[in-house]
Structure 1
Amino acid sequence: MRELWTRSVGGGALTVYETNELYGEKGAFRALRFADGAVQGAVDLNDPARIVLEYPRAIMHLMEENDPDYESVFVIGHGVGTMGQALKDKRCKIAEIEEAVLDASRRFFGYALDNVVVGDGRAALAGESDEAYDYIVLDAFTDEGTPRHLTSLEFFRLCRRKLHPRGGIALNLIGRGEQNERIRSALTTLQQEFPYTRAFRLPSPGSADLQNFVLIGRSAPIRCQLRAMAGFVDVKLAPGRIVRDPSVEPFPPYAP
């Protein structure tokens, strides 16, 4: 591994590096890594147009399968710009809280589109017109995981207002196994606002390994072709608690 760039962000480190192996795949990769070691985005240097990570491919399939004519997407969390680049032919707006992430995406990953605002994604979404978007995609992380104010009941109510009635929200989350309280609580809270939801998990060799989960909520039944889900499988999660904003109800500590 060869580090190209590092910055201190929010008490942790943000690093761009190159490697000859990524998640068991041999090749030439450039990746963005946060303090917890999780890869937040990557490009294949031999095929820069390829979407390397599985979760953006799964989310793209869910959006296309359920609304082939969708035109507009609001994305919270920029990373290296994978979603923004994939959606360059749509009306796409992206919110990224860390300016250093946007700078890294432009300098090291070739992101050249002018559709990213720097700031809190929830606040940026609140400023949008009601029913403005076909989809909202949540892909935001800190060193403690997805910020809780982005999985609360009040946040999902805001999303419903900003979505077209046929629209939906897709979330990329990370947790250890199907019993992870944060994942279960996010899904349970999502179900309070969206009558149709599904959860998908990307299997990993160890049950204690960090795994990607993709959740989706809509007002209509959710279709998918599992062969197009980049390895994600359907999963049934036990109920969790309903997450509220701190101003409504202080957050109790999550279980490990």
Structure 2
Amino acid sequence: MRILYEDRDENWGKLIVYEVSHFDGEYGSYRVLAFSEGAAQGVMDLGCPDRIVFEYPRAILHLMETYIPDYNDVYVIGLGIGTLPARLRDKRVKVAEVDPRVREISRRYFGYSSSNVDVGDGRDLLEREPDHAYDFLILDAFTEKDTPQHLLSEQFFRLCKDKLHERGGLIMNLFGRGPSDPIIRAVRTTLRAVFSYTSCFELPQTEAAAPRNILIMGACQPIRFREKGMAGFVPIVPEEGYLIRDRNEKFRL
């Protein structure tokens, strides 16, 4: 492993950029952004920089293209290495990123060249946007602990609904242990309190209890998708959970 960048901030935690000769069982040349050496947040295949390595951005793109084929306006919370915003360069895209280091890292080490990234809390920045302005809101925000909990509450989901067009949708990339995970159950229950239609998908793992990417979408119209276009994600139906509100002690950071 070759380390290109390493920094620890008392507010935002540790970030590391490194290169390896294999990733997830594939040999080649890869550049990785991680909170630590074992928690990759973004990966670039240096031999094919336009390739989307992770499955979840491919699945998100499929959901967007299938649900609203002619979409144009997208708001993304969480930049990472810029995989999704870069792929949407022919659309009108705004990005919110809370960690100022990530914006610079995405440019310096991963070639993200757009000037559409605002640094600040995603919820605060979204509140400043006009109502009914977006076809999609994409939540792909992680800290070293998990997705910030004020981005999973009923109040936040109602804010998202206000910012979406009538036919728009909210798509979230989360991390959990499948449909029985109490947080995943709570997020889906809370989302259903705001949006008429919801769909959940997981990327199956060999071990049943292993953490995995979970996509959850909320919309005001029926959600369409083709399973063969979901990059390995399969539909799941989490059981009912509790309602997440801003003052819910279980989700206080």
TM range, normalised to the smaller chain? over 0.9
Q: CA deviation at 1:195?
A: 0.7
1:153-195: CA deviations, max 9, x gaps? 0000000000000000000000123221111111111111111
**Alignment of 1:251 onto 2:249:** yes
How big is the shift at 1:2?
Answer: 1.7
Contact 1:204 1:211 in 2 (8 A): yes
Counterpart in the other structure of 1:79: 80
CA pair 103-243 structure 1, distance change in 2 beyond 3 A: same
Counterpart-to-counterpart distance in 2, 1:29 and 1:209:
24
Aligned partners of 2:178 and 2:214 also within 8 Å: no
Separation in 2, partners of 1:208, 1:14: 27
Counterpart residue identity of residue 249, structure 2: F
Partner of 1:164: 165
Q: Which runs of 5+ in 1 are unaligned?
A: none
Cα distance in 2 for residues equivalent to 1:11 and 1:81 = 18
Distance 1:108 1:36, change over 3 A: closer
| 1:80 Cα deviation from its structure 2 partner | 0.2
Distance 2:251 2:54 in 1: 31
Percent identity over paired residues: 49
1:85-129 C-alpha deviation (Å, 9 max, x unpaired): 011110000000001111111110011100000000000000000
Residue number in structure 1 paired with 2:29: 28
Provide the aligned length of Structure 1 versus Structure 2. 251
AA at the equivalent of 1:42: V
Spell out, residue by residue over 1:185-230, the C-alpha distance to the aligned partner (whole angstroms, 9 max, x if none).
Answer: 1111111111110000001111232200000111111111111111
1:3 has 2:3 as partner: yes
Q: Give the secondary-structure state (helix, strand or coil) at the position aligned to 2:4.
A: strand
Give the match for residue 236 of structure 2: 235
Q: Is the 8 A contact 2:16 2:37 kept in 1?
A: no
Rounded to whole Å, the distance in 1 between the matches of 2:177 and 2:7 is 27
Contact 1:7-1:100 within 8 A present in 2 as well: no
Q: Is there any run of 5+ residues in structure 2 with no aligned partner, and where?
A: none
Displacement after TM superposition at 1:253 (Å): 6.1
Q: Is the 8 A contact 2:107 2:113 kept in 1?
A: yes
Aligned equivalent of 1:56: 57
Give distance in 2, aligned partners of 1:155 and 1:4.
36
Taking structure 1 as the reference length, what is the TM-score of the superposition? 0.95
Taking the aligned partners of 2:202 and 2:37, their CA distance within structure 1 comes to: 20
1:68 matches 2:73: no
Q: Structure 2 matches for 1:1-256, cutoff 5 A?
A: 1-9=1-9, 10=11, 12-35=13-36, 37-246=38-247, 250-252=248-250
Instruction: Compute the RMSD of aligned alpha carbons.
Output: 1.4
1:115 and 1:253 map into 2 onto residues whose CA distance is: 30
